[in-house]
Amino acid sequence: MKKLLLILFFTPMLVLAKGDDCINEHNRDQREFCMAKQYANATQCDTIKSIELRMQCVSVVKIKQRDSMWAIKPMNLSTADIRTETKYFNR
């Protein structure tokens, strides 16, 4: 009975384990590439041995990081504060 309760308690936590989507990748480089894409972490790209896959990984992570940054707070003239005199905006 205690074993059953432990299994029922810890099973949902296993679903939240890091790299759960990438666990099925048997190739180490592919697994690191998957984890880098999933978490937008460029340090995962540094561990990839294949130069071609590493370059692809860095570009994918860079695009994902830019998308997340611009989605949070876009920087354009409609959101810029131009009430004061600045040297960046000509009026």
The ranges assigned to domains in the chain are 19-68
Mean pLDDT of 15-44: 82
At residue 55, does pLDDT exceed 90? yes
At residue 15, does pLDDT exceed 70? no
> Which residues are within 8 A (CB) of 17 and not within 5 positions of it... i.e. 6 or more apart?
23
Rounded to whole angstroms, how far apart are CA atoms 46 and 29?
10
Burial 37-68 (b: 16+ CB within 10 A, else e): beebbeebbeebeeeebbebbeebbeebeeee
Which residue has better confidence, 13 or 60?
60
Per-residue pLDDT band for 49 (boundaries 50, 70, 90) equals very high
At residue 71, does pLDDT exceed 70? no
pLDDT 10s digits, 78-87: 555 555 555 5
3-state SS, one letter per residue, for the chain: CHHHHHHHHHHHHHHCCCCCCCCCCCCHHHHHHHHHHHHCCHHHHHCCCCHHHHHHHHHHHHHHHHHHHHHHCCCCCCCCCCCCCCCCCCC
